[in-house]
Amino acid sequence: MPKTGSTYQTFLVLTYNNLKGFSMSSHMFSDVPPGKPSLRAAYEQWLKLQNPVERTEPGNHPKIPPKELNVGIVGGGMSGLYAALILQSHGAKEPNQYFEAGAMRLPETSEQQPVFDLIDYLNEKLPGESCIKTIPYVLYDDKGNLVLINNKMQQDGKSTHIREVIWPYLDALKKDFAKGFQEIIKFDDFSFRAYLVQVAEWDEDRINYVEVMTSQTNQFQNSFTELVIENMDFSQASWKTIENGMERLPHGCAQLIGSENIFTGAEVYKIEDVSDGVNIYHSESSAPVKFDKVLMALPPAALRTIETPTWSPDKMHAIRALHFEPLYKIGLRFKTRFWEKVSPPSKGGQSITDLPSRWFVYPSYGIGDNGPGVLLLYAWMTDAIAFLPKNEKERICLGLRDLKKVYGDQVDIDDQFIEGYSINWTDEESTGDAMFFPGQFRNLFNIARAPEGNVYFAGEHLSVHHTWILGALDSALLACQQMLGEPNIMPLRPTTKQNPPKHDYDYSDCIKAKPMAVYRDQRT
């Protein structure tokens, strides 16, 4: 990278494996012709693309000039990559002169704007072939996707029950996110289920019906806060995805950051405080690498396995406790897009079932094409755990069995099947999606994102926007603001766009509520 004379320009992203949620999008396989390469080969090829720097000898990482603030970023997920881009842009005097050089869908909301701005920012700087194009994503087929619950088939899985209960909170969040958040956090010690029973006075049958139709088994055991935010995101009418795969987003970030600044295949196993900095120990070097400041851009489960200084008991508790939900997906490739030809057809959207494969996600790209297509079968939470002990063959058999229950009388599923490939994120470094238990926002969130000396923290769990790329970006922004001591650093935007007013993206003040007798207060 060209020298800019800035004090913040030097950083190194150390990352180990794959990026969360990007490892399995239906797009990933969309242009794989029948036969070769296989889904597994496509996955492995994709993993290689994640590793733009091939390591050849120990210690093969960028030299960090002395007398500059050098930053080590552990984790090359979206939070680590975004932090690197912010540091890069912040360090450059004239960024435009110097820089010649899964996830499935994005709701089009004002909160999600930083993700769309990042895409525009990258497009402004990347060469044409690397540009990222968004295309519409079909969340529900307007005519209604098939639903199979209690062995009864129906059409259209949309349910408005939850909105009837939480609309005042959704309304408040929409008007002013930070203020609205202060309202919902009052109920943070409640699980969503407890709120439905004790405040909304729903009966058991209604709760179970709505959970199975809108969510995954036991998801309502998570905090009220979590489920309200999730419903806010999913109540959007308009959705986008990225043409040719969501993984083009981290690839674009990595390209702009520059391969000389990314060291892949390096598993960090220890960090230690030293005078004026932090030592990082990783699998590809026998000697530690010293940085002035280090950003741990990792899910808590990954952070926990790294030997760290002993931070405060509250911090250690937060790292131990913050909950991630398991996630499972299998991509199944078929000779034809049979789901578009059956009666009723599904042109995009998703089917809901109470089978082990809880959702069948129909691809939004290539609708109407004659060639082969890939279906994603999806399970979260308790539903995802059920797949953990199963091997690949058993997972494929279960997926085909579930598809036969829905389509067996119209389609010869076995004849259509070509191949399958699955990922259970509980088995991966990324471990799943952040989904807090009751009380965790109020009691652990701020502690978890506070720096410890020269060590800073990022990751989707350190934003209020869990389960979205946005959360990873939001957490990285806050970490950079903390690290550089500049609270006014803005999200990355193309030069053609004005910066938004600060309150449009700044949720750092969201969690201010003190514990209180919420339930009693609300009822009287």
Ligand X SMILES: Cc1cc2nc3c(=O)[nH]c(=O)nc-3n(C[C@H](O)[C@H](O)[C@H](O)COP(=O)(O)OP(=O)(O)OC[C@H]3O[C@@H](n4cnc5c(N)ncnc54)[C@H](O)[C@@H]3O)c2cc1C
CA-to-CA distance for 480 and 86, rounded, in angstroms? 7
Among 12, 14, 278, 492, binds ligand X (CB under 6 A): 14
Q: Taking a C-beta distance cutoff of 8 angstroms, is the pair 219, 381 a contact?
A: yes
Among 69, 92, 104, 489, binds ligand X (CB under 6 A): 104
- Tell me whether residue 268 or residue 400 sits nearer to ligand X (CB atom): 268
User: Taking the complex as a whole, how short is the minimal distance between the CB of residue 500 and ligand X, in angstroms?
Assistant: 19
User: Taking the complex as a whole, how short is the minimal distance between the CB of residue 464 and ligand X, in angstroms?
Assistant: 12
Asked if 491 touches ligand X (CB under 6 A), the answer is no
Among 42, 69, 74, 146, binds ligand X (CB under 6 A): 74
User: Taking the complex as a whole, how short is the minimal distance between the CB of residue 194 and ligand X, in angstroms?
Assistant: 26
**Nearest residue to 488 (alpha-carbon basis) of 496, 130, 480:** 480
Instruction: Tell me whether residue 378 is annotated as binding.
Output: yes
Asked if 76 touches ligand X (CB under 6 A), the answer is yes
Q: Taking a C-beta distance cutoff of 8 angstroms, is the pair 2, 62 a contact?
A: no
Total residues contacting ligand X by CB under 6 A comes to: 41
Instruction: Tell me whether residue 102 is annotated as binding.
Output: yes
Asked if 17 touches ligand X (CB under 6 A), the answer is yes
Among 280, 471, 477, 506, binds ligand X (CB under 6 A): 471
Positions 372 through 431 that interact with ligand X (CB under 6 A)? 425, 429-430
**What phi, psi does 119 have (nearest 5°)?**
-60, -45
Q: Residues 432, 436, 440, 441: what is their CA dihedral angle, to the nearest 10 degrees?
A: 100
User: Taking the complex as a whole, how short is the minimal distance between the CB of residue 469 and ligand X, in angstroms?
Assistant: 4
List helix spans (H) across 50-138: 78-91, 95-98, 113-125
Chain residue whose CB lies nearest ligand X: 77
Among 70, 79, 214, 482, binds ligand X (CB under 6 A): 79
Among 42, 53, 69, 78, binds ligand X (CB under 6 A): 78
Q: Taking a C-beta distance cutoff of 8 angstroms, is the pair 232, 8 a contact?
A: no
CA-to-CA distance for 395 and 330, rounded, in angstroms? 8
- Tokens 């082990």: give the residue: 356
**Nearest residue to 139 (alpha-carbon basis) of 340, 338, 351:** 351
User: Taking the complex as a whole, how short is the minimal distance between the CB of residue 400 and ligand X, in angstroms?
Assistant: 21
- Tell me whether residue 192 or residue 324 sits nearer to ligand X (CB atom): 324
CA-to-CA distance for 208 and 205, rounded, in angstroms? 5
Point out which span in 122-130, 199-207, 464-472, 482-490 binds ligand X (CB under 6 A).
Answer: 464-472
CA-to-CA distance for 257 and 228, rounded, in angstroms? 35
Instruction: Tell me whether residue 104 is annotated as binding.
Output: yes
User: Taking the complex as a whole, how short is the minimal distance between the CB of residue 76 and ligand X, in angstroms?
Assistant: 5
Cα distances from 521 to residues 167, 181, 190, in angstroms, run: 20, 17, 14
Asked if 469 touches ligand X (CB under 6 A), the answer is yes
Point out which span in 270-278, 394-402, 466-474, 507-515 binds ligand X (CB under 6 A).
Answer: 466-474
Asked if 510 touches ligand X (CB under 6 A), the answer is no
CA-to-CA distance for 341 and 146, rounded, in angstroms? 13
User: Taking the complex as a whole, how short is the minimal distance between the CB of residue 242 and ligand X, in angstroms?
Assistant: 10
- Tell me whether residue 474 or residue 506 sits nearer to ligand X (CB atom): 474
**Nearest residue to 116 (alpha-carbon basis) of 241, 237, 247:** 241
- Tell me whether residue 13 or residue 185 sits nearer to ligand X (CB atom): 13
DSSP classification of residue 137: -
The amino acid that residue 326 corresponds to is P
Sheet holding 239-242, edge to edge: 106-107, 239-242, 134-136
Among 281, 407, 436, 468, binds ligand X (CB under 6 A): 468
Point out which span in 101-109, 150-158, 190-198, 287-295 binds ligand X (CB under 6 A).
Answer: 101-109
Among 141, 325, 433, 506, binds ligand X (CB under 6 A): 433
CB atoms within 10 A of CB 200: 15
Q: Which residues pair with 457 in a beta bridge?
A: 296
The amino acid that residue 337 corresponds to is R
Q: Residues 214, 216, 218, 220: what is their CA dihedral angle, to the nearest 10 degrees?
A: -30
**Most distant CA atoms of the chain, gap in Å:** 71
Strands 106-107 and 134-136: unpaired
Positions 303 through 332 that interact with ligand X (CB under 6 A)? 306, 327, 329
CA-to-CA distance for 73 and 13, rounded, in angstroms? 5
Q: Show the tokens assigned to 273.
A: 């405080």
User: Taking the complex as a whole, how short is the minimal distance between the CB of residue 299 and ligand X, in angstroms?
Assistant: 5
Instruction: Tell me whether residue 103 is annotated as binding.
Output: yes
Asked if 108 touches ligand X (CB under 6 A), the answer is no
- Tell me whether residue 215 or residue 416 sits nearer to ligand X (CB atom): 215
User: Taking the complex as a whole, how short is the minimal distance between the CB of residue 408 and ligand X, in angstroms?
Assistant: 27
Positions 18 through 57 that interact with ligand X (CB under 6 A)? 18-21
CA-to-CA distance for 249 and 49, rounded, in angstroms? 12
Positions 263 through 302 that interact with ligand X (CB under 6 A)? 267-268, 297-299, 302
CA-to-CA distance for 168 and 122, rounded, in angstroms? 37
Among 467, 481, 482, 508, binds ligand X (CB under 6 A): 467
Q: Which residues are annotated as a binding site?
A: 79, 102-105, 268, 378, 460
The annotated binding site for FAD is made up of 79, 102-105, 268, 460
Tell me which residues touch ligand X (CB under 6 A).
14-21, 74-80, 102-106, 267-268, 297-299, 302, 306, 327, 329, 425, 429-430, 432-433, 459-460, 467-469, 471-472
Binding-site residues for substrate, in ranges, read 105, 378
